[in-house]
């Protein structure tokens, strides 16, 4: 069988889980709750079993009897019902699984399952949850809806500094619940092969973690599990958690002795898989009258939904929220987060964000604009005054991070010059004099990516290192495998480039393979822009190990001692004698044909444990016009100047920036997963949850500065998350700047036309 046609090997282009078709395959459909909170009085499957083609139905009770009623959530600190047991906790929760000969029969069978519910009172927000009048999770030891309290910084000193500050601003800012909405929903095919081994094709951003989690949940020995994640149609954090549907498909395959395919619908994806954000943040800044920050304090209520399935490393329940001091030299700070259960879908995943960095970045960047407004200082000047200076790196932030490198002033100045800030200010003043609403919005953010150093970071106890294995073949071609998993980020290109650059080989002949747990070394996967900082570093380190070995073989070929050989101009040469040299290609051939006293072969593996995170940063500027009559916002220009350290591939990086800006634009202006007071989800498809097309998407202008990471082998920082982290604040700041002559100080995202129009109307009626 050709590799492309063999469903066990779905690496490569254009192979999706839904393309996997196996003999005798059954299809699974899930019955989902219509109520957000209800007792299950009974489940009647008799009508479903009569549907032509339906083979079996399983419920929560069946799974519970088999010891599979619950699965651990991402960080292992909570558990989640696989299928509802006794009651449902959110609308669209998984209640039963139907297995049938065709997809249509499975769907018909699911329709025919009769569930009798007794509705219970609904807890639709964290502020109601806090009152503990209705306890949602009596299965837990602590009978409260409060999940955790997390804090960092110096509470007392911060309180004193804020109280003693001549100027203070305070703002409640909500980063709304949104959804990554990858174009391909989640899905899997579970098959127990003739050896009784689970062959599991799944849309996973972290295949090895899945293998371990499946083994822990099901008791199947890990060597009997083969996880394959092919092209997965986008992930954005949505394909990190292990979802109930996966467990059901595996159980179905085991019980029925046939392969089972489950592919989510769009509605299932939007309503039941990992949402993002939903942080209600009260942020306060203290400052001197001339705009020097004296303190920052932020207190957050987090809505985690029915189970604590937030995707954060075990010791960081609020992720990297501590980066909320942003790019600014804040003397003292305190941040706290309290999380609550509500009757909503579980999640809080790292949607194009390194674990709550997007929320933190949005809060500080909005607050800086509010402070600038309060002080009557230009928002740029306030930033410039408070930036961490380049000579302060490595910089220890008040909330415990050590920023590796950056030159914020340089990045800002480049952005101002590129966009022509002075001319824009002049134009804005003229327009304001005519009553027109033009806004210029800034976001000068700092990210923290590359989770992470094993002394701090783990998931389910597994340290967050990553890995690379490189094999160079006799002809100088090669293969690199990593524990990361590309979902369209171009690892196939950039990993090959790292190997080629380190070894002087042709990148066209370096095959990149990820996503297959039988072949790739163990890794924690791709999310939170960790691939380049961690797996990318593992690749460079492994390549250098290959080069060390190659040097010994080169010495043999050149008939000199190893100490007399140097690597220069992408080849080995006798020190000071350029005429006597061998290429890596020649060495590769010798490694298999004439290795001399050396061990044959040319390969190396590296498990890279990063010493620190990397801190990419940038200056984003949005220029908008707001129509006073309709509230319509037009993005006239958007400039992103990013600094992600050494750039491996400028085109790939630009693609990352364009994609992330488009998602940030959508969050700022059109996306929100809304629930009504009764807990009904109002955004269940793409007519209610909007995804921007090329028609709405603005033109993106990009530029960059380079301050390499001092601790990364090639100086690279992550970049994929930056545009999503940095851009929402730039958009909203621009709209508020446009509306500021009317006295508008803040609007919650999404800043829809309707909201803007109402703000203008209220302001004109003197209500703000
Ligand atoms: O973890 P993920 O791949 O989503 O994010 P990333 O590490 O930010 O990398 C996204 C893509 O941009 C990868 O193909 C990287 O190799 C590439 N990249 C680059 O070319 N140069 C950088 N300094 C950072 C990322």
User: What are residue 190's DSSP bridge partners?
Assistant: 200, 260
Last residue in a domain, options 608, 629, 660: 608
Is residue 674 in a domain? yes
In 3D space, the residue among 165, 154, 173 whose CA is nearest the CA of residue 336 turns out to be 154
CATH of the domain at 565: 3.30.365.10
Q: Judge residue 194's burial from the number of C-beta atoms within 10 Å of its C-beta, 0-12 exposed, 13-18 middle, 19 or more buried.
A: exposed
pLDDT at residue number 269 = 98
Instruction: Return the active site residues.
Output: 205, 352-353, 721
Decide: 269 and 181 in contact? Cβ < 8 Å.
yes
Predicted pLDDT at 684? 97
Q: Is 610 exposed, middle or buried (0-12, 13-18, 19+ CB in 10 A)?
A: buried
Q: What does the pLDDT read at residue 11?
A: 44
Supply the pLDDT for residue 76. 80
Mutation test residue for ligand 1: of 240, 493, 501, 532, the one with most atoms within 8 Å of CB: 532
pLDDT digits (tens, 9 = 90+) for 51-65: 999 999 999 999 999
Q: Give me the phi and psi of 697, to 5 degrees please.
A: -70, 130
Separation of alpha carbons 88 and 694, rounded Å: 39
- Both 218 and 323 in one domain: the answer is no
What is the per-residue pLDDT for 670?
A: 97
Domain co-membership, 587 together with 643: no
Ligand 1 atom nearest the C-alpha of 536 is 16
Q: Is there a domain that residue 174 lies in? A: no
Residues 389 and 395: their CA atoms lie apart, in Å, by 9
Residue with tokens 């609020």: 318
Decide if 460 is inside a domain: no
Ligand 1 mutation pick, 349, 525, 534, 652, max ligand atoms within 8 A of CB:
652
Is residue 172 within 8 Å of 126, Cβ to Cβ?
Answer: no
Domain boundary among 608, 631, 646: 608
What range does the domain containing 65 cover? 6-13+24-120+185-232+239-272
Q: Whose CA is nearest to atom 7 of ligand 1?
A: 532
**What is the number of the ligand 1 atom nearest to the C-alpha of 646?**
23
* Number of domains forming the structure of the chain: 3
Q: Tell me if 412 sits within 8 A of 383, measured CB to CB.
A: yes
Helix/strand/coil for 87: strand
Tell me the CA–centroid distance for residue 699 and ligand 1, in Å: 22
What does the radius of gyration of the chain's CA atoms come to, in whole angstroms?
Answer: 27
Q: Residues 401, 394: contact at Cβ < 8 Å?
A: no
Looking at the fold, whether 287 and 434 belong to one and the same domain comes out as yes
pTM: 0.96
Examine residue 213 and state whether it is found in any structural domain, yes or no: yes
Tokens of 371: 């402070």
How far is residue 485's CA from residue 425's CA, in Å, rounded to a whole number?
A: 44
Assess contact for 456 and 315: CB atoms under 8 A.
yes
DSSP 3-state assignment of 612? coil
Low-confidence ranges of the chain (pLDDT < 70): 1-14, 767-768
**Alpha-carbon distance 135 to 256, whole Å?**
38
Q: Which of these, 128, 87, 149, 131, lies nearest to 342 by C-alpha position? A: 128
Ligand 1, residues at Cβ distance < 6 Å: 489-491, 494, 526, 529-532, 536, 644-649, 652-653, 656, 716-720
- CA dist., res. 473 & res. 602, Å (int): 7
Cα–Cα distances in angstroms (integers) from residue 363 to residues 47, 228, 628, 728, in the given order = 52, 39, 27, 10
Same structural domain, 588 and 717: no
Q: How far is the CA of 657 from the centre of ligand 1 (A)?
A: 10
- Residue 268: name the closest of 46, 58, 107 by CA: 107
State whether 340 and 396 are in the same domain: yes
The model's pLDDT over 662-706, given as tens digits with 9 standing for 90+, comes to: 999 999 999 999 999 999 999 999 999 999 999 999 999 999 999
Task: Indicate whether 282 and 426 sit together in one domain.
Answer: yes
Q: Which of 565, 580, 608 is the last residue of a domain?
A: 608
Return the residue whose CA atom lies nearest to atom 2 of ligand 1: 529
* Residue 302 Cα distances to 36, 147, 341, 389, 528, angstroms: 19, 10, 9, 33, 19
Residues 369 and 500 in one domain: no
Atom of ligand 1 nearest to the CA of 491: 14
Ligand 1 nearest atom to the CA of residue 616, by list position: 23
The count of other CB atoms within 10 Å of the CB of residue 325 is 27
d(CA 516, CA 238) in angstroms, rounded, equals 19
Atom 19 of ligand 1: nearest residue by CA position: 648
Statement to judge: residues 616 and 594 lie in one domain:
no
Q: Determine which residue's CA is closest to atom 5 belonging to ligand 1.
A: 529
The C-alpha atoms of residue 715 and residue 695 are separated, in whole angstroms, by 37
- 439: part of which helix (H) or strand (E)? strand 437-446
Given a contact cutoff of 8 angstroms between Cβ atoms, the answer to whether 113 and 43 are in contact is yes
Is the backbone peptide bond immediately before 651 cis, with ω within 30 degrees of 0? no
CATH of the domain at 113: 3.90.1170.50
Same structural domain for residues 471 and 619?
no
Q: How far is the CA of 606 from the centre of ligand 1 (A)?
A: 19
**Cα dist. 60→95, 118, 243, 257 in Å?**
7, 17, 14, 20
Mutate to test the pocket of ligand 1, among 494, 658, 663, 712 (most ligand atoms within 8 A of CB): 494
CB atoms within 10 A of CB 656: 25
Domain membership flag for residue 180:
no
Q: Are residues 315 and 389 in the same domain?
A: yes
Cα-based distances in Å from 744 to 159, 442, 614:
28, 17, 36
How far is ligand 1, taken at its centre, from the CA of residue 612, in Å?
Answer: 17
Query: 168 lies in a domain?
Result: no
Residue 91 domain flag: yes
For ligand 1, the distance from its centroid to the CA atom of residue 463, given in whole angstroms, is 21
Question: For strand 79-81 and strand 26-32, is the pairing parallel, antiparallel, or unpaired?
Answer: unpaired
Q: For residue 178, tell me if it sits in a domain.
A: no
Distance 257 CA to ligand 1 centre (A): 41
380 C-alpha vs ligand 1 centroid, how far in Å? 29
| Dihedral angle sign, alpha carbons of residues 385, 391, 394, 398 | negative
Does 216 lie in the same domain as 98? Answer: yes
In contact, 270 and 55? CB cutoff 8 Å: no
Q: Rounded to whole angstroms, how far apart are CA atoms 97 and 30?
A: 5
- How far does residue 529's CA lie from ligand 1's centre (Å)? 7
Ligand 1: atom nearest CA of 644 is 23
From 648, 709, 712, give the residue whose CB has the most ligand 1 atoms within 8 Å, as the site to mutate.
Answer: 648
* In a shared domain, residues 345 and 299: yes
Report the atom number in ligand 1 closest to the C-alpha of 532: 7
């Amino acid at each position: 069988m050709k590799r492309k046609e063999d469903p066990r090997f779905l690496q490569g282009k254009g192979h999706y889980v839904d393309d996997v078709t196996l003999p005798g395959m059954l299809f699974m459909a899930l019955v989902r709750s219509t109520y957000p909170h209800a007792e299950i009085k009974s489940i009647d499957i008799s009508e479903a079993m009569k549907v032509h083609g339906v083979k079996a139905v399983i419920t929560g009770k069946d799974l519970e009897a088999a010891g599979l009623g619950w699965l651990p959530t991402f960080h292992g600190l909570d558990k989640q019902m696989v299928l509802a047991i006794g009651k449902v906790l959110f609308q669209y929760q998984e209640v039963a699984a139907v297995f049938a000969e065709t997809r249509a029969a499975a769907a018909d069978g699911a329709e025919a399952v009769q569930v009798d519910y007794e509705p219970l009172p609904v807890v639709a927000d964290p502020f109601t949850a806090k009152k503990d009048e209705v306890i949602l999770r009596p299965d837990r030891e602590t009978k409260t809806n409060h999940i955790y309290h997390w804090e960092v910084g110096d509470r007392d000193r911060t309180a004193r500094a804020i109280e003693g500050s001549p100027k203070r601003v305070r703002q409640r800012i909500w980063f709304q619940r949104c959804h990554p909405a990858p174009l391909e929903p989640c899905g899997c095919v579970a098959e127990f092969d003739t050896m009784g081994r689970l062959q599991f094709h799944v849309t996973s951003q972290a295949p090895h973690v899945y293998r371990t989690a499946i083994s822990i949940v099901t008791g199947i020995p890990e060597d009997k599990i083969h996880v394959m994640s092919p092209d997965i149609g986008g992930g954005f954090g949505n394909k990190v958690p292990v979802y109930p549907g996966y467990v059901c498909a595996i159980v179905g395959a085991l019980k029925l002795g046939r392969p089972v395919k489950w592919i989510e619908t769009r509605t299932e994806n939007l309503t039941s898989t990992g949402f993002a954000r939903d942080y209600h943040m009260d942020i306060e800044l203290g400052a001197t009258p001339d705009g020097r920050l004296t303190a920052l304090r932020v207190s957050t209520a987090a809505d985690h939904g029915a189970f604590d399935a937030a995707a954060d490393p075990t010791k960081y329940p609020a992720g990297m929220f501590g980066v909320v001091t942003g790019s600014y030299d804040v003397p003292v700070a305190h941040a706290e987060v309290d999380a609550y259960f509500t009757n909503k879908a579980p999640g809080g995943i790292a949607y194009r964000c390194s674990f709550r960095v997007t929320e933190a970045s949005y809060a500080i960047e909005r607050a800086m604009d509010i402070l600038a407004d309060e002080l009557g200082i230009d928002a740029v000047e306030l930033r410039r005054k408070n930036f961490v200076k380049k000579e302060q790196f490595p910089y220890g932030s008040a909330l415990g991070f050590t920023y590796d490198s950056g030159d914020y002033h340089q990045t800002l100045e480049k952005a101002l010059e590129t966009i022509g800030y002075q001319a824009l200010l002049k134009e804005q003043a003229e327009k304001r004099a005519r009553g027109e609403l033009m806004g210029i919005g800034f976001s000068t953010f700092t990210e923290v990516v590359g989770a992470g150093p094993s002394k701090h970071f783990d998931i389910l106890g597994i340290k967050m290192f990553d890995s690379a294995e490189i094999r160079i073949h006799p002809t100088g071609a090669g293969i690199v495998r990593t524990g990361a998993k590309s979902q369209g980020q171009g690892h196939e290109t950039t990993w090959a480039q790292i190997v080629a650059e380190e070894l002087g080989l042709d990148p066209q002949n370096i095959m990149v393979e990820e996503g297959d747990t039988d072949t790739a070394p163990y890794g924690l996967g791709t999310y939170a822009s960790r691939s380049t900082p961690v797996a990318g570093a593992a690749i460079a380190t492994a390549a250098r190990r290959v080069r060390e070995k190659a040097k010994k073989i080169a010495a043999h070929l050149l008939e000199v001692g190893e100490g007399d050989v140097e690597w220069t101009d992408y080849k080995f040469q006798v020190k000071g004698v350029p005429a006597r040299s061998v290429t890596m290609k020649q060495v590769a051939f010798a490694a298999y044909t004439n290795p001399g006293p050396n061990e044959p072969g040319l390969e190396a593996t590296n498990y890279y444990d990063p010493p620190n995170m990397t801190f990419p940063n940038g200056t984003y500027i949005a220029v908008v016009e707001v129509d006073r009559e309709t509230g319509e916002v037009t993005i006239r220009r958007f400039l992103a100047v990013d600094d992600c350290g050494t750039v491996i591939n400028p085109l790939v990086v630009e693609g990352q920036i364009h994609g992330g800006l488009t998602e940030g634009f959508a969050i700022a202006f059109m996306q929100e997963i809304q629930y009504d007071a009764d807990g009904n989800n109002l955004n269940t498809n793409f007519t209610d949850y909007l995804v921007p097309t090329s028609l709405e998407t603005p033109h993106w202008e990009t530029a960059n500065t380079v301050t390499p990471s001092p601790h990364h082998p090639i100086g690279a920082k992550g970049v994929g998350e930056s545009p999503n982290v940095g851009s929402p604040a730039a958009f909203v700041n621009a709209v508020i700047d446009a509306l500021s002559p009317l006295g508008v100080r803040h609007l919650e995202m999404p800043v829809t036309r309707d909201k803007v129009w109402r703000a203008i109307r209220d302001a004109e009626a003197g209500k703000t």
